[in-house]
Structure 1
Amino acid sequence: MMRAVSWILVVAVGIGIGALVWSFAPRTLPLSPSAPLTLSLMIPPQPPPTMRVGVLHTGLMRSRGLFAYRGGDAGERVFGMDVVIVEHPQGTLLFDAGFGRRLHEHLRTIPWLMRLLSAVELQAPVVDQLVDASIAPASIDGVVLTHAHWDHVSGLDDLPGVPVWINQAELDFIRSGHPATRLARELGERDYRIYAFDGPPYWGFDASHDVFGDGSVVLVPAGGHTPGSTIAFIHAPDGRSYALIGDLAWQREGVDLPAERPWLLRKLVDGDDARVREVLVRLHLLQRAMPQLVIVPAHDRRVMQRLPPARHDEALHRGHPA
């Protein structure tokens, strides 16, 4: 009897290990979104000629491609920890906050398995890079969070008083006590500016929020990775367009193929697997329909390097976003 039980346990463990290994195998998502992709409802953006888009590289995480998407290779991948800055006549916004000066204290909020699977390096805190780019931190009108995980809020620690733009679903997620938003809570109560998705459908997404009223920066709801995950569409005056998708995919292959994260990583970081899959398919189809659109995962340094570096011009007239 004991021998039979032992064999059953061995078989069960073997099946479990096999299933885990299989979850890393290549597998693309079927291209069948629950609603049709509609592009005709978009009003052509009218970004002002003085608007600028740039990127700040605050840090990196060295990991493996196989952890980023199903079918990824075992070679080392650089996961960038970057901040996009938009300087607009109505105001200057950061998209996510990158790494802060107290990064090594912030790392203790990461699950031990995430620490085990990657090596984090601080390049330069976001506040120091702003100063180096001749941008006064106090002049920032807001930090727009794609979501509230630790590596997107760390830099808020060095930006006291700067408003944090967030939707109600993500703010509720922070205040829920969920372990993934521990650092956001430990950094203390912020000046949260709640925006609503009060605009029409936009490029296949159900609703939108036009930040400046000219179509240059449009936010859309893309819950799944977290309840209030947000995509920011940014249209620069030089004709280039970007979609900042946060962590819906960690590397561009997640959209290009499209492919989700392996099961173990999904369970660590994603709140709603099905919703993430749906959004990845929508982004894949959007990329097919709009090849000039650069889809930018928050941690794909290869894509982030396609954005120009941040810079500043004192002649840029400042105001406040609507």
Structure 2
Amino acid sequence: MTKNDGRTDAPTAAAPPRDMKIFQLPTGTYETPAALAFQGGRFRDRRHFAATAVLVQHPRGDVLIDAGFGAHAQEHIRMLPRFRRSPHTLGATASEQMDTAGYDRGRLLGVLLTHSHWDHVSGLDSLDVPILVPREELAYAERSRGDRVFQRVAAEHERRVYGFDGPAHRGFDASHDLHGDGSVVIVPAPGHTTGSVVVFVTLGPDRRFAFIGDLAWQLDGITCGAQRPLLMRMLADSDPAQIRRDLDRVSALAQHMRIVPAHDTRGYGDIPLLVPGPGADEAP
């Protein structure tokens, strides 16, 4: 049972299939001073921000949570305002990693975006699959002027728009249950962008994850309650007050599940890589 004041009781019941799996597909990093990542960070502390897609395998169809850097990431970086062009290290794209692992692309339902900023959507340039996105985020992405990468990479993709037709979930007011079994539940968290979401993934009683996108850039936002610095809140967030409320909600869940900010490499620590073998395509 959940409460909307940021507190939660025992984890909500879910019935994930036994052969459900998740994998991380790291596509590169970019460097940012900690002082620009969270309040109280130091300029001499350099953080390597992750650009990682997460493959969620489910018998009813797989999804990627975000797409990471794409084949044309360098071009996408040049499309950004100069102050956003941090030093980047590019790796294999999600598409390349799936092919190397022998993954069957026919299983992939689409890319489920936490939000539409360039470092979450760049990899769509080499993924011919639908985009799963709430109407609010699609509207945000299509009117964006400072970040037009989504408009470039999503032009030829089918958009599967979903709404939040389900009940309150883990302190959030509404939800969308992707498969109907509680294993992948999406909730609205519209503070960073107007259609940002948090994705809860449950593999079993002791394997629960909250993929929180850019609700916090680093785990310090969860462990220390540190918001972004004031300047970055003004530049990056559509509703900083909503960010604060949702951070409190998510932080209250940390005892029940692993919280994964999209850009903190530490959050992906116990999620396996997608490598050649039975794990890439089917249960062992």
TM-score for the superposition, normalised by structure 2:
0.92
Match of 1:114 among 75, 78, 84: 84
Give, in whole Å, the separation in 1 of the partners of 2:202 and 2:106.
25
1:113-192 aligned within 5 A: 113-115=83-85, 118-160=86-128, 162-176=129-143, 178-187=144-153, 188-192=155-159
Task: Measure how far apart 1:60 and its partner are.
Answer: 0.3
CA distance in 2 between partners of 1:133 and 1:180 (Å)? 36
Equivalent residues of 2:69, 2:121 under 8 A apart: yes
Supply the distance in 2 between the matched residues of 1:237 and 1:313 (Cα, whole angstroms). Answer: 19
Q: Partners of 2:4 and 2:105 in 1: how far apart?
A: 42
Deviation of 1:211 after TM superposition, in Å, equals: 0.7
| 2:26 counterpart SS class | strand
1:286 deviation in Å?
2.5
**Aligned AA for 2:149?**
L
Kept in 2, the 8 Å contact 1:200–1:208? The answer is: yes
3-state SS of paired residue (2:63): strand
Over aligned residues, Cα RMSD in angstroms? 1.8
Aligned to 2:232: 265
Partner of 2:176: 209
2:64 alignment partner AA? L
Amino acid at match of 2:116: A
Q: What SS does the corresponding residue of 1:153 show, helix, strand or coil?
A: helix
C-alpha deviations, 1:205-239, integer Å up to 9, x for none? Answer: 00011111111110000001000100000011373
Structure 1: which 5+ runs fail to align?
Answer: 1-33, 317-322
1:206–1:58 distance in 2 versus 1, CA, 3 Å? same
Deviation of residue 38 (structure 1)? 5.4
| Number of residue pairs matched by the alignment | 276
Alignment of 1:236-251 (within 5 A): 236-237=203-204, 239-251=206-218
| Aligned partners of 2:212 and 2:261 also within 8 Å | yes
2:21 corresponds in structure 1 to 52
Q: Deviations over 1:138-189 (max 9, x none)?
A: 54211000000000000000012x010000100111222x124411112214
Give the Cα–Cα distance (whole angstroms) in 1 for the partners of residues 89 and 282 of structure 2.
35
Note closer, same or farther for the CA distance 1:313–1:105 as it changes in structure 2 (3 Å cut).
closer
TM-superposed CA distance for 1:77, in Å, is 1.1
The percent identity for this pair of structures is 41
User: Which residue in the other structure is 1:27 paired with?
Assistant: none
- Identify unmatched segments of 5+ residues in structure 2: none
Mark the CA change 1:180 to 1:243 in structure 2 (over 3 Å): closer, same or farther: farther
Q: Distance in 1 between matches of 2:147 and 2:82?
A: 15
Q: Is the radius of gyration larger for structure 1 or structure 2?
A: 1
Q: Which runs of 4+ in 1 moved over 6 A?
A: none
Q: CA deviation at 1:73?
A: 2.2
Structure with the largest fraction of helix: 1
| Residue in structure 1 matching 2:262, options 289, 293, 298 | 298
Q: CA deviation at 1:106?
A: 0.6
1:90 aligns with 2:54: no
Task: Give the match for residue 271 of structure 2.
Answer: 307
Aligned residue for 1:72?
Answer: 41
Q: TM-score, normalised by structure 1?
A: 0.81
Deviations 1:262-301 (A, max 9, x none): 12222221111111111112212232xxx13110000000
Q: Are 1:218 and 2:185 counterparts?
A: yes
